[in-house]
A and B are shown apart, each in its own frame.
Chain A
């Protein structure tokens, strides 16, 4: 199964942003195979992803510009992408709430620990 992120209705905001912002993009792939194309800058909010993309020696991720997360499900990865953009805005002074639905909290926490976010 291969779907491009903007085909998923809920993630349009992500796609819109990536269109407006200049620069490189990376592809994050969920356990189910959903692909999220987001700005590299946003992805680098995660320390783990930053290492994956910048570590010397040419790992597969930095060569292809895509990272697969076999242990993160699509909704969680989507939420994470939203968080990346929210975090960038927050860092640049736009103080809004980031809403987290209670039922995904636990899984999100696990992913955050993994991604060192």
Chain B
């Protein structure tokens, strides 16, 4: 029987079986709902009542739905721009914070807050500010709002990497006459690159998936609707095979991006 080298004690074979049972139940709970969804998206009849054969026709139907294509386009614009902005801002913040070291509690709180502040609160706060200032809302307001939480996540990923950063190479660069900007550009950034890309991928998926803040800061009208907003509207009308297909696609994008992010930056995701 395999024994753990550390961790909780393993009494006997029966306990080990119980552990396997628990894992089976929890993983079934986590994966059955998603699997059913993915399975149904390939069901020709489209109904959960009967399997009528494998088909990708519901994916084809998505490509003919102008609302969905428009929403996908908007989501891409929002995700790309908010990722670019938050990657630059978050990386600079992380480097600054780690060089400075003696950071007050208020600073840590401000950097940490965007990750824990409830979406609904940030969403109404931004909506209130934009409308009181008379800002016309649209994709641009979604982008700047997404940067708020995205930059915090990029910063967290890059900071995790900086904990094991060898600052002596920075000194070496300075000793060799490198200016601050050159040192940053030629030494610090290249070393951090895997973490920066991992952070950017994380920001990208967070932005693609984000619903509540986009919903509140998109302004009136359908012109700046994003994919999650479109999905939310569709779900409220009920279960359709198109939603199954769309949901499967959206889920795959997140999983691929996160698997890549994880690969680039082992164990660097916040919370791990």
Do A and B come from the same complex? no
B residues engaging A (CB < 8 A)? none
A residues engaging B (CB < 8 A)? none
